[in-house]
């Protein structure tokens, strides 16, 4: 009897030591489903750190699932229907304990940190996406989640449509950046353009396709660049086709190399001929902030000199200036000294085309104070005005941008004369009013 009593006491002591805490312990990465055996119990001590937003959503709703709640959401219903312990009950009364309410609040807080951006007002998720690279549940709108910047935190890509004008827009949220980046894709008031989106690893590919007798397709590739903590435009392709042939272009934005291919039927025997032209177009580093209608036009113009009868030479001045504006906005301009780039961009954007055409010598000019570093001891001040000129000679297929720099030469505090130096950027005008840089010359 004494031995039995002693054994009972030992058992009670052991229970007090090891069984008084009946809350299951969970290691990081485990699921609430893994540690709770009874459907009627709920564990509220799960470690949330490192979980994805989908895992957090499941954990938050598992509290309701264990009480028999029936989910209308297809994703949640599909998940919990596969759990052996799940017993749906249409008459279930859902009462939450204070611990469960606190636990749900903590999960929502963690979810908010992983999904800081809502879809901006005036936009809606697309419900049908042509050739979507990521699997979705039928036509259910879903935000695509991927770790694009490689920091083990889920990033978001939202393919949306503007409620105002049907414009297709991508919204990208990278965890390494504190902003929501907007990427304009296309505007389609008739709502016939089919968007394309694929996300894999650190690459986003998107584009548009317009079906019909005249096929048109454009595709853009963005790759995450850790050096700038952002996505960078790396590849661009477009193609169009009609009954008698196709025209396509591939442009490697990083190397600058492009290929312009035309396949067309000959007039006499209807046989197809293929013409391939290659060239180079240097562009600066282009990020989502640069992507708009003007950038797409810049990309479209690359290699256009190989396309027949695209522009009317009678309006070449206007078209040439349009191309210069694009070049000085998106081009790398490796032939231009950094001290001039900002002023040149402003100068090109300020050109009054009508005034240029009306002038007797097809010249436009504007004055600046560029404050060039002359590196000459006898020039003490750079106070006089510098002048920028653009001269277009369509008949001789040439154009020149000239910068006249001046500085004051002083002696005993008095200006004795001004020193001037000219820098000229020379271009040739080619087919379809496309210009080609030739050389930089100077005089002084």
Q: Which two tokens stand for residue 75?
A: 């994703």
CA–CA separation, 173 and 179 (whole Å):
7
Residue 187 to residues 143, 160, 208: CA-CA distances in angstroms?
21, 12, 10
Q: Quote the pLDDT of residue 83.
A: 94
Is residue 12 situated within a structural domain?
no
Q: Quote the pLDDT of residue 28.
A: 33
Confidence of residue 18 (pLDDT cuts 50, 70, 90): very low
Is residue 283 situated within a structural domain?
yes
Higher pLDDT residue, 211 or 90? Answer: 90
Q: Which helix or strand (DSSP H or E) is residue 10 part of?
A: helix 2-18
- Mean pLDDT over 306-315 rounds to 66
Structure confidence by residue, pLDDT tens digits, 142-167: 677 788 998 877 788 888 889 888 88
- Mean pLDDT over 186-204 rounds to 79
Domain housing 397: 330-443
| One domain for residues 152 and 208 | yes
Q: Which two tokens stand for residue 117?
A: 């951006």
Is residue 1 situated within a structural domain?
no
Residue 273 to residues 56, 243, 246, 264, 276: CA-CA distances in angstroms?
58, 14, 11, 6, 10
C-alpha closest to that of 392 among 365, 363, 422: 363
Is residue 256 situated within a structural domain?
yes
Name the residue with tokens 């050739």.
Answer: 131
| One domain for residues 108 and 141 | no
| One domain for residues 217 and 74 | no
Q: Quote the pLDDT of residue 433.
A: 82
Confidence of residue 132 (pLDDT cuts 50, 70, 90): very low
Higher pLDDT residue, 236 or 188? Answer: 236
| One domain for residues 108 and 137 | no
| One domain for residues 132 and 185 | yes
CA–CA separation, 134 and 122 (whole Å):
25
Residue at a domain's end among 114, 149, 174? 114
Burial class (CB in 10 A: 0-12, 13-18, 19+), 444: exposed
382: left (phi over 0), alpha (psi -120 to 50) or beta: beta
Residue at a domain's end among 260, 276, 308? 308
- Close Cβ partners of 317 (under 8 Å, ≥ 6 residues apart): 353, 356, 357, 362, 392, 394
Is residue 287 situated within a structural domain?
yes
Structure confidence by residue, pLDDT tens digits, 252-263: 999 999 999 988
| One domain for residues 131 and 72 | no
The tally of domains found in the chain comes to 3
| One domain for residues 383 and 242 | no
| One domain for residues 175 and 220 | yes
- Mean pLDDT over 39-59 rounds to 69
Is residue 282 situated within a structural domain?
yes
| One domain for residues 132 and 250 | yes
- Mean pLDDT over 311-317 rounds to 68
| One domain for residues 287 and 405 | no
Is residue 386 situated within a structural domain?
yes
Is residue 16 situated within a structural domain?
no
| One domain for residues 378 and 419 | yes
Q: Average the pLDDT over each of 11-20, 90-99, 114-123, 432-441 and give the range with the smallest value.
A: 11-20
């Amino acid at each position: 009897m004494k031995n039995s009593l002693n054994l009972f006491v030992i058992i009670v002591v052991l229970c007090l030591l090891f069984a008084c805490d009946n809350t299951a312990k969970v290691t990081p990465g485990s699921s609430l489903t893994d540690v709770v055996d009874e459907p009627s119990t709920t564990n509220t001590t799960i470690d949330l750190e490192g979980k994805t937003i989908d895992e957090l959503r499941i954990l938050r709703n598992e509290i309701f699932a264990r009480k028999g709640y029936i989910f209308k959401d297809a994703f949640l219903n599909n998940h919990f229907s596969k759990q052996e312990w799940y017993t749906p009950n249409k008459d279930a009364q859902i009462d939450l304990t204070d611990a469960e309410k606190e636990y749900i609040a903590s999960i929502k807080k963690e979810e908010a940190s992983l999904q800081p951006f809502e879809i901006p007002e005036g936009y809606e998720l697309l419900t049908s996406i042509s050739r979507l690279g990521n699997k979705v549940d039928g036509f259910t709108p879903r935000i695509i989640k991927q770790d694009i910047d490689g920091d083990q935190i889920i990033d978001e890509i939202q393919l949306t449509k503007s409620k105002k004008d049907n414009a297709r827009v991508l919204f990208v949220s990278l965890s390494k950046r504190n902003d929501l980046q907007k990427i304009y894709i296309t505007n389609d008031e008739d709502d016939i353009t089919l968007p394309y989106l694929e996300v894999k690893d650190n690459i986003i590919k998107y584009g548009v396709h317009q079906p019909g007798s005249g096929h048109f397709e454009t595709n853009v590739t963005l790759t995450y660049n850790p050096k700038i903590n952002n996505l960078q435009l790396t590849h661009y392709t477009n193609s169009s086709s009609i009954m008698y042939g196709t025209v396509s272009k591939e442009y490697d934005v990083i190397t600058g190399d492009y290929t312009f291919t035309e396949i067309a039927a000959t007039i006499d025997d209807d046989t197809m001929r293929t013409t391939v032209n290659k060239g180079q177009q240097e562009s600066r580093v282009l990020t989502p902030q640069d992507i708009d209608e003007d950038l797409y036009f810049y990309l479209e113009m690359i290699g256009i000199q190989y396309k027949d009868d695209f522009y009317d030479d009678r309006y070449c001045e206007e078209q040439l200036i349009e191309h210069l504006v694009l070049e000085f906005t998106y081009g790398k301009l490796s032939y231009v000294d950094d001290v001039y780039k900002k002023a040149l961009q402003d100068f090109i954007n300020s050109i009054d085309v009508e005034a240029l055409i009306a002038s007797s010598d097809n010249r436009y000019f504007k004055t600046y104070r560029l404050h060039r570093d002359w590196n000459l001891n006898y020039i003490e001040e750079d106070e006089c005005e510098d002048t920028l000129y653009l001269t277009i000679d369509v008949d001789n297929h040439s154009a020149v941008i000239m910068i006249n720099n001046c500085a004051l030469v002083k002696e005993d505090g008095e200006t004795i004369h001004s020193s001037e130096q000219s820098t000229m950027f020379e271009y040739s005008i080619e087919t379809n009013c496309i210009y080609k840089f030739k050389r930089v010359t100077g005089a002084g």
